[in-house]
Amino acid sequence: MRRTPITLADGRELIYFDLEGDPPRQARDLRDLPEPPQASEVRLDELRGEWVAIAAHRQARTFQPPASECPLDPSRPGFSTEIPGPYRVVAFENRFPSFSQRIEASSTGPGLRPGQGRCEVVCFTPDHHGSFAALPPADVRLVMDAWADRTEALSATPGVEQVFPFENRGAEIGVTLAHPHGQIYGYPYVTPYTAQHLAAIERDPDVFAKRLDRERSGGRVLAANDHWTAFVPYAARWPFEVHVYPNRRVPDLTALSPDERDAFAGVYLPVLKAFDALFDVPLMPYIAAWNQAPVHTARSAYHLHLQLFTIRRAQNKLKYLAGSESGMGAFINDIRPEQAASLLREALTRAADPASAGQKQMPGLS
């Protein structure tokens, strides 16, 4: 991997990630940009014991522009974007961040502190109409290296307690830009979901190992190799949800070996393609969320893993988080995980054999 950092016109950092042999990146950002916004506030909800970020400046962020005006495409003559010139993989500070290092001293008080952290955008490909599933394995490895690079950097950023790489895909998820990309959040607190993991570790330090052993010997494994296992979890919350675990316990992406980073594509790409083949829709919406150990807690006990799920439960139906899920945080799944695993295996076969694409059958999903 070759990394080339530059500074954008408003002072934000951008880093090109390239393979050896790619052309050098020498583009400059010539735009006239205002200064980036100040950091958000984080306010404590005393009843939940959770922090909420108040980032009002994000109301002004770019929202679903036409493809010809996408700010994540490479800049071209007559149209300057966030990325000044060609790229393979690139990461840069978000122009409308939920957390940042630009802090106003006044954002302090009881249950109130500045949203000190960092938010970045990661573009997986310059192809506006591409997808992560369409990346060649070498580019998947490059994205893995970029994620690890940024995890290390954000973990060393003042105020950051947890680093979260993720991808939102599809209009149904709420993405504001259609270009294939993900984000990385450096939170100034440990997130509620991870706090639940830490509580589980306190109850049983081997909880992750036991879960992986159970799933590897169960009937919901979708793909596996010497380094990774992908499975539908026993107590899946979402109709179609897959977890991808490295077989070796590591705290975060930085700790993965070169062989583990190489092997990830062999498990993850088939699963993504199965998601796309599951229903006859042009773009399967999904969220891909890397669960990593907090920066300062449970480093030796946590087990890195990726959670992938779609909010689509049938060809023309979405899974809404309505009263029980949104109001009480109590999930109710419409599909048995065993059925989901079976349907995803069928989709794996169709994705591997395009000639069978016309034989889709979705029993019980009307």
CATH class of 1-189: alpha beta
Would you say 88 and 126 are in contact if contact means Cβ atoms under 8 Å apart? yes
* Cβ-based burial of 300 (10 A; exposed 0-12, middle 13-18, buried ≥19): exposed
Tell me what pLDDT residue 355 has. 65
The number of residues in the chain equals 366
Domain ranges of the chain: 1-189, 191-366
Amino acid occupying residue 93: E
pTM of the shown model: 0.95
| Integer Cα distance of 35 and 102 in angstroms | 10
Identity of residue 182: G
pLDDT at site 363: 39
- Between CA 82 and CA 70 the distance in angstroms is 9
Coil, helix or strand at residue 209: helix
| Strand residue runs (E) in 129-220 | 162-169, 181-187
In CATH terms, are 1-189 and 191-366 the same topology? Answer: yes
Q: Looking only at Cα atoms, what is the longest distance across the chain?
A: 63
Q: How far apart are the first and last CA of the chain?
A: 47
Token pair for residue 109?
Answer: 């008080």
Integer Cα distance of 162 and 188 in angstroms? 7
Catalytic annotation, pick one of 129, 179, 181, 303: 181
State how far the Cα of 115 lies from the Cα of 113, in Å rounded to an integer: 7
Average pLDDT per run of 10 along the chain, which is 366 residues long?
Answer: 97 98 93 94 96 94 94 96 97 97 82 96 98 98 98 98 98 95 98 98 98 95 98 98 98 98 98 95 93 97 98 95 96 97 96 64 42
- Taking the CA atoms of residue 145, residue 146, residue 147 and residue 153 in that order, the dihedral angle to the nearest 10 degrees is 110
Annotated catalytic residue 181: yes
Which is the CATH superfamily of the domain at 191-366?
Answer: HIT-like (3.30.428.10)
What is the pLDDT, as a whole number, of residue 330?
97
Write out the two tokens for 162. Answer: 């947890």
- Beta strands in the chain, from DSSP E residues, in sequence order: 2-7, 13-18, 41-45, 50-54, 89-93, 112-114, 118-123, 162-169, 181-187, 221-224, 228-231, 240-246, 286-291, 305-310, 312-314, 317-318
Q: How many Å apart are CA 57 and CA 62, to the nearest integer?
A: 11
Which residues are CB-neighbours of 160 under 8 A, at least 6 positions away?
116, 117, 118, 154, 186, 187, 188, 295
Q: Are 122 and 181 in contact (CB under 8 A)?
A: yes
